[in-house]
Structure formats: structure tokens, C-alpha cells
Structure 1
Amino acid sequence: MHRRTASSRRALVAASVVVVLGLPGCAGGGPPSVDPDPDKPFVLEGVSKLTEIAQLTGPDAMNDTASFSVAGTDLGSMVNVGDKTFFFFGDTFGERDPESIGGQGGFWRSNVAAWTTDDDPTDGIDFEGWVEDDIGLAGALIEGDHDANGAGGEVTKIPTCGFAIGETIYVSYMSVKFWGEPGAWDANRSALIVSRDDGRTWSPVDGVEWPGDSNFIQFATAQVTEGGEDWIYFWSIPSGRFGGVQLMRVRATEAAVEDPSAYSYFAGLDGDAPQWSDEMRDAETIVDGTIGELSVMWSTYLERWIMTYSDAGSAYIREGITPWGPWGEAIELVPGSEYPGLYSPYLNPRYVTEDGRRIHFTLSLWDPYNVFWFSADLERAD
């Protein structure tokens, strides 16, 4: 049922050191229409045929990432822009001891990105290029300050998700202030950066940010159509891996995305009708639990929303009847007992096969601190 590489069969990592550098994922694709009917039945009964297909980054990977000075990295959330898919990675190290575990090493960049036009996920993903620095290595989209942990400044800027409006690409990041106990960290804020030249250069989106103690630090996004308009929905969690999910939205235009007053927050239901508030304090939690590194997309196979995430142990999947719920019970997607130190299972609606039944996703492993490519089948009730 599982095919595992030698590097993923290293000595087991204790569950207490699962993750320090994790974040939620995201996906793009054609916008589904929002159906607010909450009374449809749940149809996801389970998952099967979990398969580790390939290692995407680092030594022994199917891609030559060493040529771009990527020896260790994590995350790998995805954004589709035309026929390209961008993969956004977190803290990245160009030099690492072969026995290193977790985020450590030399030539540290807070975030990097690769791109591909490979649309066949069945044998892994071939990277065709990277966002490069002046000498042709993988360069930071926006560099963190790299202050000392606990100094009260900014340790790093971690990309948490992205989305595209036409050919304009937005990436959210969290400014990390302090890495604490495993699965716990503090943020200064979350914010957006933008590229208008196919990912070659990036700049901050002025004024669009959320406070570090809010529930809007790590995002998963999807574009939807609702009421005849296109929107970007953001499923959001706080810093770390111990909070629930809240929801916000903004119209899918560059002007709206770059206007901090254009965002609204899911504030509960009036009957079956969602209520939206301009005030972040009115946001209601739509999924309770220990939610980390989440990713959300519309499943054409289930005709339901699906959410993946990790909880400092295993990776899970849930189905949602509407974007705000109800959300079903968590189903184990990848067992932590088989893949210790796993985190950030990220989906992309471009990477499904078997008429949508088979999902393909990135998954990070703390040892060897690199990104892998998996697939699994969704089991749907008749």
C-alpha cells in the first residue's frame, strides 16, 4: 500500500519534534459555484491506495535542485497561472550536512519558488525553472530579516499560500517572530506580496495585513463564483498548529485584493444564508481542532469541498458541504506512524486523475527536510 524511498525510512523522528517550519497550503483552478444548501449528505467514506510517488527536492530527488542551491526545503503549496504551476517553498538551505534533520544549514533563504508545465502527476512533477537570483540560484521572493529567535524581531517570512488574478500572482506569508515548542510559533503579522511579471520579481502589497495574534495568519485559498461574482475565499488558521479554521473572502479583482477594507469575514448563518462582516472580530470558527498546514479545493469527483491538514502527528482529510460547512469528521490520509515528521499535505485541482478520484499532493518530511509527492484514492459512497 505504501512505496517508500530509502531517505524516508531513516531512523524514526520523535513525535515531539515533528515541525517547526510548517504552513498551510493552497490551490488554484476554475471557480466552482457556491451552493449554500447545508443538507446534502456526506459522501467521503475513506481513502485508499496511498502511494509515495517521488521525492521532489533535495538529494536523491527526481529534480536536480542542487544546481539551484536547494539542499533542504519544505512546504510546496501550489498556484496555477495559465499552463504554469508555481510551487512555493519555505525556509530553504543550500548547504546541509547529510545527517541533518529539520530546518538547518547554510545559505538560508526564507522562501523560494519553482515552476513547471508538467500536468501529468502520476510519475512525479518535473520542475522546469526557479525564481532565480542574480547568479542563477533559487532566490528569495521576499527575504526575512533573519533576526535571532526570541530577539523580538523577525526570524523569517514563510509563504503560506497563493492565488492568481489573471496573470497577477499573490502569495501570502507569515512573519515569524518566535519558534517555540514543536507545533507552536508566534507571528508578527501575515501579509501579501505580488508579482506582475510571471513570478520574476515580487513586491509587498501595501496595507494588506493581519495582526500576528489573529486567526488569519496561515491561509488556504480557492476562487469561487457566488451571486454572479468571482471571489477569493481564504480558509485561515492562527500561528502554529493548535487553532481552528475561520473564513474570509474578497472579490477576485486586483483592486479588491489590494484594498484592506474589501475583505469580509464569515460571521455565521441566518437560516442557511451566510452572513459576512467587515469586522474581523465577528469571524466564527467553522472547523475546531488541531489544524495545521491546511489546503482546500473543490472535488469534482465528490462534488464536495475537501480540506487536508496535519496535526503534529498524521495528515487528515475532511469533506465540506459548503465552504463554511458543515465539515465531516477527520479521516486519516497519511499515518504519522508510517511517515514520522510529516506535515503540509497540499492539494491542487490540476493534479487529479481517474476522473478526480485520485488526488495527488505534496507532503513534507522533517527528516530529511524535503518535499515528497504522494497520491491517494477517494472512496465515495454510492
Structure 2
Amino acid sequence: MSRVHVSLIQSDYGLKLHGNFEAVIRQGTQLWHWFRDNSRNDFGPWVRGTCITGDQDTVIAPGCLIQSDYCIGFHGNFEVVVPLQLANGTIELRHFYRDNNDPHLPWIRGTRVTGDRDNVAGAACLIQSDYRIGSHGNFEVVVPLQLANGTIELRHFYRDNSNVRQPWTRAQLISQSCAGSGSFIQSHFGSAGHGNFEVIVDERRDAVTHYWHQNFRLAEWWIRTDCFTMLQPYPLLAKRARKIAQLTGEFDREGWNGTGTPNFARNRTESRFGIIGTDLGSSFTHLGRTYFLFGDTWRVGHPTPNDDLDSIAFSTDRTADDGIGLTFLPKPPLVPRIPQGGFNVPLDGVSWNGDMYVFFSTDARNAGIYALMGRSIMARSGNGLDFTLLYEISRYKFINVSTSIVEARDHELPGTGPQLVVFGSGRYRSSDVYLAVKPAAKLTEPGGFLFYAGGTNQPQWSNDEEAAVPLIGAGSVGELSVRWNPALGAWICLHNADWPADRASVGGIVMHWAKHPWGPWSKGNVPFAVNDGLGKFMHLPNVDHTQEGFGIDRSAELGGMYGPYQIPQFARETNGGVQIYFTMSAWNPYQVMLMTVEIPAPLE
């Protein structure tokens, strides 16, 4: 017996108090309407009504049914969206409706919801919202779509009901870590006359995740909030990452009992450079030095938090086992014509033809309590002091980036010669990882990126950022670091996942690896979990004295780890594998740590 799938509503049909129950049920390859007359005292049997789809249709997933406010008489129309398989094997989402004011109650074939290149991967969810220009609110749909590399995204579509002859509009991406269908409502939260959209969706790692969209600004991101507790944890590495040294700040308070003077931090940056605290610390080599790019920086003589301008330091060290000596440049890295206040930070950089090329994020904003990064830009400098704005990189999937230059032939990349490889993420801590490449010789010119668009044996490349597909299926990536490790013969990706300061978090610092930049990427392991640092060098209230207030009481504020940036030139082989080194931020204290972990070899 074929499985039966059902969508159920209560309509306004009925002679007494209770409206009928209405259902759309997939039976075989067709979608049928059933109803129960609730005006009968015995409530009666369920009655099979008419077939919704046509003989030419092949239904492959459940339909979704609503009753809309379209009506001439007493009853609003029934509206259905259902996935149909086409002759070429792809699957579309099709709209059908029943004119409930026609005495024959016909089901009418409406327009296609999804686009010609879309391939539907499961059931959709349909609502009628309060967006309207005329008398009817828009129809809104969320539907899973299969991408070129087999991953699944959840996408929003809508129909402007002020003109029903208009096609459905492809709206924003919700999730590219999708593993099933979504549930969709319009809530009472929000402003400017429109409640927010709320979605719950199945994601990878057995997660169920809540997203919301603030509807006073249509172009705003969907925001990832809570991940339900059934999330599968990443397995922990047997040998965990450990702290070598605290690189920034004046004092390292790990192990301090709260009396007397704590131990000094490795670089005593407050007394030497006026740097009280900072975060991040991605790095690249340039003219024989390793340059470190730090984020929002709290300086002596400024109120804290202050203007939050960033900082750059360099090192000439050749090993990292006893820490890294830093010399900070005397002024912040300022780029003309872009905002550089809090949460606008340098992301990563490369050295090319005697100049440094640095990616910055800018135009940060807030959506409620959630921080959103605006866009990424490229700037050039000869010395790390004076920067020239070159061009915008992305407002979409490459706002946070990790970048390096490698030879195309060594990594089977498109083009010839040195290539700028950019791994990116979009919504802050609410994104997957994407890949783009560009000839290094074209660094000064805008555009020119090719985006990985799917395929492993035969990778596909597109000049359209929209076509970029996710690499690792982690929907909560924030800061990331991806570097080629010759000793391991693999690309290593580190990123923070899930909420960094959540003691119950099953994320932490996550590592993936791949032989090619496009993958296939490993499922992930955790070299450092939040509980590896809390109560030691990350503040755990009432347990340690590592908090730093800078004039603010932060004793009740939990520490958390983020920003794991590899320093690839320090990696070295060991008896058991390869020792890698990375910087990591601790939030409370607001400082950057030098970390190390042994990666077992060979990679499996």
C-alpha cells in the first residue's frame, strides 16, 4: 500500500457551529481533496471529493492546503501548492486553487511557483500574509530545493496578490543546511504594520532550527536563532587543543586567585602599545613578517567600549611553541569611505607584488539582539598603515572570508598561475561555507570571481554568486579559517559553531578537512569545546577570576570561544601527526589566545 500524506484545515463550510474539516491527500501519483461535514450530529464519514491534480501530473511529495480570503460569495477559495515531477525528472512546485463560489467547485491549475532551474526536494508550506497593495495579502511559500551538489536549501517565494497575473517571485534564502521541509507562520512580533515571518526547519545533524524575518525591511536576512536540543554533537578529537599563551592584554589571569598581581601576558600590550583588549587575529605573511589582523580594539585613553577601531601587529618569530612576540603598528588600519566602528573588522589578507591586500567587513547593523555583518570590501596597503579602498567583494555569501594564494595546477583550480582562493560565509554565525577563486594577477580589479557551483569529480564554476553551493553543511558558521596544510596534504577548515558561550553547546571550534578546496569535506570534529576553556582561561562566573571589565563589571558574563585562525607556517610534523597552531578569542577576557592541537595523520 502506498503511503498517504495529508494536509488538514478547518474551513468555513458548514451549516452549524463547526466548519468542515478539509484535507488534501496524496494517493498514488495524484492529490485528492477529502472533507468531513461537521454539521452532522454523527459528524458523518469522510468524503472523497475531487482530484486536484491532472492526469498528466505526478505528485511526488505532500501538498499544503489553506483557505484564502479570495471570494465573491461567502467562502474563500482553497489554495494548494504541491510538488510535481516533470518529464525531464526535475520537480516543480505548482499552485492549484478551488473557486468556492462556482457551484461546480472546480479545482483550477494555477501558475508554477518555483523557477525553471529549481528542483524541489520536498513538501512546501503555504500561508497568506498581511502584505497587500490591494485587498488580498500575498501568498508566501517556503520550499526545499536541491542544489547542484546535492545539498538542500530552504527558499522563500511569494506572489503579489494585487496582480494575480504576475509570476511568483523568488525571494530570500533561509537555510542551505536543510534536511527536510519547513513550517511557516506570520507572527505578531514585528513593527511597521507587518508581523515577522517565523520558520522551523529540519537541518543537518538532526537539528530543528528556528529562523525569523523582520518584515519592516524586506531586503533583510532571515536570522537563525535557536537550534533545538536534538542537534547531533560533533565528535571530539581524542587530543584536544590547548592554550600556549595569551597574546594580548597586560595580564594573563588563568590560575589567579584574585589577590596580588596576576602573571603578565606574553606581549604586555597595554603598557607597550596602549592595547587593553582585542579579538580575532587572522594572519598572513608579507615581506618576511607575519601580520596579524585584530578586530574591535580597546585602547588606553578611550572609554570602553570606545570607537572600536581595529589594530594590526606583526611578528618575526619562526616558531610558536613558547608564544609569539607581537609588535603593534602605531595606528588603526583606516580605509577611506567605509564605516569602521564596532563589528566592522579586518577579515584576512594576502601578500602580492610587494603590497598587502586585506579584506574588511563594513556596514554592520543589528536586527533585534542579533548582529549582522553588512558587506566585505578589498583594500590595499604597502605598510599596513595607509589603505586604499579598491572595491566591494560581497553582500551575500562572502561577507566573512578566509583567503590565500595558491597555484591553480596544484589544486586543480580553474585558470593558470597563482589564484586567490576565498572561502566565505554570509549571515553572521548563521551560514554555511562557500568557495570562490580569482587570478591573483587581477587582485586590483573588481569582480572576476568564479564561484564553486557543485560537482566533485568535475567541479562546476559560475560567475554568479547566487550559484555558489555550500561546502560542509554547517548552518552556524561565523569566523572561519581555511588553509592548505602541506604536511597533512589537505585543506584544513576551522570555524566556531553554535553559540560560543553556551555551556550546553555541542559545537565549539570545529575542524573539517578535504583534499581539494571544493571537497568532499569531512563531517567535522571538535578540537576544542567550550567546557575545555571555561573556568581556566575563559571566565566561568563564581569559579575563576579571569574576567576583565575595563571599567565594566563583567563578573557574571560567561566567556566563549570564537575566531579560530590558523597560522599555517608554524605547523610541524610529530610522531602522531601534525601540530597546528591558531589564534582564538575568549570574549571574557576580551583577549586573543595562541592555541595548538595535534591532528592525527593520516587523515581519515
TM-score range, shorter chain: 0.7 to 0.9
1:208 aligns with 2:392: yes
Match of 1:288 in 2: 473
How far is 1:328 from its partner? 0.4
How far is 1:265 from its partner? 0.8
Write the distance in 2 (CA, Å) between the matches of 1:96 and 1:328. Answer: 47
The worse-fitting range, judged by mean Cα deviation, of 370-379 and 308-317 is: 308-317
1:86 aligns with 2:280: no
Write the distance in 1 (CA, Å) between the matches of 2:562 and 2:493. Answer: 14
How far is 1:145 from its partner? 3.8
Write the distance in 2 (CA, Å) between the matches of 1:94 and 1:287. Answer: 38
How far is 1:107 from its partner? 4.7
The worse-fitting range, judged by mean Cα deviation, of 239-248 and 355-364 is: 355-364
- Bigger radius of gyration: 2
1:57 aligns with 2:248: yes
How far is 1:96 from its partner? 9.1
What SS does structure 2 have at the residue aligned with 1:58? coil
Higher RCO (CA-CA < 8 Å; seq separation 6+): 1
Write the distance in 2 (CA, Å) between the matches of 1:371 and 1:155. Answer: 17
CA contact (8 A) 1:47 1:378 kept: no
How far is 1:320 from its partner? 1.1
The verdict on how the C-alpha distance between 1:192 and 1:354 changes in structure 2, with shifts beyond 3 A counting, is same
CA contact (8 A) 1:295 1:307 kept: yes
1:320 aligns with 2:518: no
1:361 aligns with 2:582: yes
How far is 1:381 from its partner? 4.0
Q: TM-score, normalised to structure 2's length?
A: 0.49
Write the distance in 1 (CA, Å) between the matches of 2:238 and 2:283. Answer: 22
Residue type of the alignment partner of 2:517: P
Match of 1:307 among 490, 493, 500: 493
The verdict on how the C-alpha distance between 1:106 and 1:261 changes in structure 2, with shifts beyond 3 A counting, is closer
Deviations 1:46-104 (A, max 9, x none): 4525321100001212103113221010000001113200000000011499xxxxxx8
CA contact (8 A) 2:434 2:469 kept: yes
Residue type of the alignment partner of 1:62: R
The verdict on how the C-alpha distance between 1:92 and 1:331 changes in structure 2, with shifts beyond 3 A counting, is same
Write the distance in 1 (CA, Å) between the matches of 2:314 and 2:291. Answer: 4
Alignment of 1:88-127 (within 5 A): 88-95=293-300, 105-127=304-326
Match of 1:247 in 2: 435
Match of 1:346 in 2: 565
Residue type of the alignment partner of 1:50: A
Match of 2:376 among 186, 190, 193: 190
CA contact (8 A) 1:176 1:185 kept: no
The verdict on how the C-alpha distance between 1:239 and 1:106 changes in structure 2, with shifts beyond 3 A counting, is same
Write the distance in 2 (CA, Å) between the matches of 1:357 and 1:142. Answer: 38
Write the distance in 2 (CA, Å) between the matches of 1:219 and 1:110. Answer: 19
Match of 1:277 in 2: 462
1:233 aligns with 2:421: yes
Alignment of 1:251-270 (within 5 A): 251-253=439-441, 256-269=442-455
Q: TM-score, normalised to structure 1's length?
A: 0.76
Deviations 1:248-279 (A, max 9, x none): 111112xx11222311111112x612222111
Match of 1:70 in 2: 275
What SS does structure 2 have at the residue aligned with 1:363? strand
CA contact (8 A) 2:477 2:495 kept: yes
1:220 aligns with 2:413: no
Q: Which structure 2 segments of 5+ residues have no match?
A: 1-234, 252-264, 410-415, 501-507, 534-558
Write the distance in 1 (CA, Å) between the matches of 2:524 and 2:388. Answer: 38
How far is 1:343 from its partner? 0.4
Write the distance in 2 (CA, Å) between the matches of 1:159 and 1:167. Answer: 19
Residue type of the alignment partner of 1:48: K
Alignment of 1:138-177 (within 5 A): 139-142=332-335, 145=339, 156-177=343-364
How far is 1:370 from its partner? 0.6
Write the distance in 2 (CA, Å) between the matches of 1:308 and 1:332. Answer: 9
Residue type of the alignment partner of 1:267: A
Match of 1:375 in 2: 596
Give the RMSD, CA atoms, in angstroms: 2.4
Write the distance in 1 (CA, Å) between the matches of 2:527 and 2:348. Answer: 21
Write the distance in 1 (CA, Å) between the matches of 2:291 and 2:560. Answer: 25
Write the distance in 2 (CA, Å) between the matches of 1:336 and 1:156. Answer: 22
Q: Which structure 1 segments of 5+ residues have no match?
A: 1-43, 98-103, 134-138, 147-153
Residue type of the alignment partner of 1:130: F
How far is 1:155 from its partner? 5.0
Percent identity (aligned): 26
CA contact (8 A) 1:309 1:345 kept: yes
Residue type of the alignment partner of 1:221: T
Match of 1:149 in 2: none
Write the distance in 2 (CA, Å) between the matches of 1:181 and 1:302. Answer: 43
The verdict on how the C-alpha distance between 1:215 and 1:78 changes in structure 2, with shifts beyond 3 A counting, is same
